[in-house]
């Protein structure tokens, strides 16, 4: 992959299906000033994103987060938890996405259409694409990204004539009937919500072994992906509140579909639903690619059984890791609602960001540590830690409890597997 291919990979992962429903919820908090929430959350994501850019420039490896943490702190258990927690976020995202796609298909073909059959079929198709090869998977990713970005550009195109029709600093009414004051506190509340629409940039690190000159390409592609996504989010949010009053938008279950229906009633709603399916499929595939490469990378580091690091002789893909993920995702997707589990893995992912930022700080201060081609000042990972801690304070107790249970399960698995520790291909006594 080159700069633009990797940037599209990251942009497709971040865009996903989240923005198709997130704009309405954010408008409920900030009103017409919703665009400020996306700008603030981009700055917050950029702090950790820049840390990942330096990490990828220094150590372009699959399972990069687990690798850099083991290298920085020499703790197998910590690297193990970080690697599997990152994988858990991808697994639940895939499972949730498969249920969303099955729901769209059932709505299109009627209640007699089997949800279970749709879920199994969807996951098998993704498995085939992932197994066939990285080149084929990336081309499918490019197609899906262009479709989902096209959907968002349609929103902007049909609604751009409404731009300038409202006050873009107007906020919702408070209990006293007056507009809520637009200040740092309100913007932060909105940014906490919209921050999750930028999660996905970290997945780019796990495919750096399949990037041309990753030390140079990876940082450029990551920053480019964040900027592209931010411009699209801000334009979509401005369009949405220009076409539909923010109070009405906040009550919508499909805000962008409603925006297109209001601005362009001639546009077929089913077509926009199809675009949403492509968006969900793209996110699921990218999580599949990330997860399978993460398992492969952790196996090569000695943190998972060696068999999971096997590469298919003809397709050159980690087929055992791919099939392992398929089995787990099928079990999750067919088990029922996994919304709470997905929220818990978001808590784990923010915790991973904190540890990665701390690991980069430790490595930057270590004498003799090899340097990459991209550097950030030490205050950047510090800011990344502060932002992630602030986001964690907004999580619910239920998610934190489940996250703790997941860590406990990973802890138990660690002692069952008894992984060896490998850094730079040599066994470590840690």
Cα dihedral 203/208/209/212 (nearest 10): 150
* In a domain? residue 31: yes
Which residues, 6+ apart, have CB-to-CB distance to 302 below 8 Å?
419, 420, 421, 422, 427
Residue 80 structure tokens: 């193990």
- Read off the CATH number of the domain in which 342 is found: 1.20.1740.10
At residue 341, the pLDDT reads: 65
Q: Which of these ranges, 39-48, 163-172, 331-340, 368-377, has the smallest mean pLDDT? A: 331-340
Q: Where are the alpha helices (DSSP H) in 334-372?
A: 339-365
* In a domain? residue 429: no
* In a domain? residue 319: yes
Containing 428, the helix (H) or strand (E) segment is: strand 426-428
Structural domain boundaries, residue 71: 3-420
Cα–Cα dist 382/415, whole Å? 32
* Cβ contact 292:328 at 8 Å: no
* In a domain? residue 36: yes
| Residue scoring higher pLDDT (324 or 367) | 324
* In a domain? residue 314: yes
Say how many Å lie between the first and final Cα of the chain, rounded.
35
Q: Which of these ranges, 22-26, 46-50, 228-232, has the smallest mean pLDDT? A: 22-26
Cα–Cα dist 119/114, whole Å? 9
CA angle 93, 97, 103 (to 5 degrees): 150
C-alpha R_g of the chain: 21
Cα–Cα dist 275/308, whole Å? 34
Dihedral (CA of 72, 78, 83, 85) sign: negative
Which residues, 6+ apart, have CB-to-CB distance to 154 below 8 Å?
260, 267, 272, 275
Cα–Cα dist 283/373, whole Å? 29
User: How many domains is the chain built from?
Assistant: 1
* In a domain? residue 296: yes
HSE-up of residue 245 (Cα within 13 Å, Cβ side): 4
For the whole model, what pTM was predicted? 0.75
Cα dihedral 57/61/65/69 (nearest 10): -90
The per-residue pLDDT for range 52-76, each reduced to its tens digit, is 888 888 887 766 677 888 888 888 7
* In a domain? residue 427: no
At residue 61, the pLDDT reads: 73
Dihedral (CA of 285, 290, 293, 295) sign: negative
The per-residue pLDDT for range 190-232, each reduced to its tens digit, is 877 777 778 778 778 777 777 788 788 888 898 899 888 888 8
* In a domain? residue 164: yes
């Amino acid at each position: 992959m080159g700069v633009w291919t990797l940037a599209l990979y990251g942009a497709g992962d971040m865009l996903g299906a989240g923005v198709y429903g997130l704009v309405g919820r954010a408008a409920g908090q900030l009103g017409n000033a919703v665009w400020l929430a996306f700008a603030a959350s981009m700055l917050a994501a950029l702090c950790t994103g820049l840390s990942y850019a330096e990490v990828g420039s220094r150590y372009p490896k699959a399972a990069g987060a687990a690798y850099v943490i083991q290298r920085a702190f020499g703790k197998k258990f910590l690297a193990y938890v970080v690697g599997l927690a990152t994988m858990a976020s991808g697994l639940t995202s895939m499972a949730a996405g498969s249920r969303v796609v099955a729901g769209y298909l059932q709505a299109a073909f009627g209640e007699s259409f089997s949800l279970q059959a749709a879920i199994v079929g969807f996951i098998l198709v993704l498995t085939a694409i992932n197994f066939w090869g990285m080149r084929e998977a990336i081309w499918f990713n490019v197609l899906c990204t262009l479709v989902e970005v096209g959907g968002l550009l349609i929103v902007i195109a049909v609604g751009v004539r409404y731009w300038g029709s409202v006050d873009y600093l107007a906020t919702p009414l408070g209990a006293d009937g007056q507009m809520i004051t637009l200040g740092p506190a309100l913007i932060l509340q909105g940014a906490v919500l919209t921050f999750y629409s930028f999660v996905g940039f970290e997945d780019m690190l796990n495919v750096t072994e399949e990037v041309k000159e990753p030390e140079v390409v990876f940082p450029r592609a990551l920053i480019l992906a964040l900027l592209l996504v931010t411009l699209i989010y801000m334009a979509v949010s401005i369009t949405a509140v220009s076409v539909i009053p923010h109070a009405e938008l906040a009550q919508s279950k499909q805000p962008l579909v409603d925006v297109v229906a209001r601005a362009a009633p001639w546009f077929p709603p089913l077509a926009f639903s199809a675009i949403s399916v492509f968006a969900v499929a793209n996110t699921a595939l990218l999580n599949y690619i990330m997860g399978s490469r993460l398992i492969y990378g952790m196996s090569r580091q000695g943190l998972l059984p060696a068999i999971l690091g096997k590469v298919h002789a003809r397709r050159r893909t980690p087929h055992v890791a791919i099939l392992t993920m398929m089995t787990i995702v099928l079990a999750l997707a067919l088990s029922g609602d996994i919304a709470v589990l997905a929220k818990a893995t978001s808590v784990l992912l923010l915790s991973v960001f904190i540890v990665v930022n701390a690991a980069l700080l430790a490595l930057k201060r270590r004498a003799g540590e090899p340097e990459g081609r991209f550097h950030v000042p030490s205050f950047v990972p510090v800011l990344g830690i502060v932002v992630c801690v602030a986001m964690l304070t907004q999580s619910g107790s239920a998610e934190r409890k489940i996250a703790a249970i997941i860590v406990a399960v990973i802890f138990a698995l660690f002692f069952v597997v008894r992984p060896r520790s490998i850094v730079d291909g040599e066994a470590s006594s840690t």
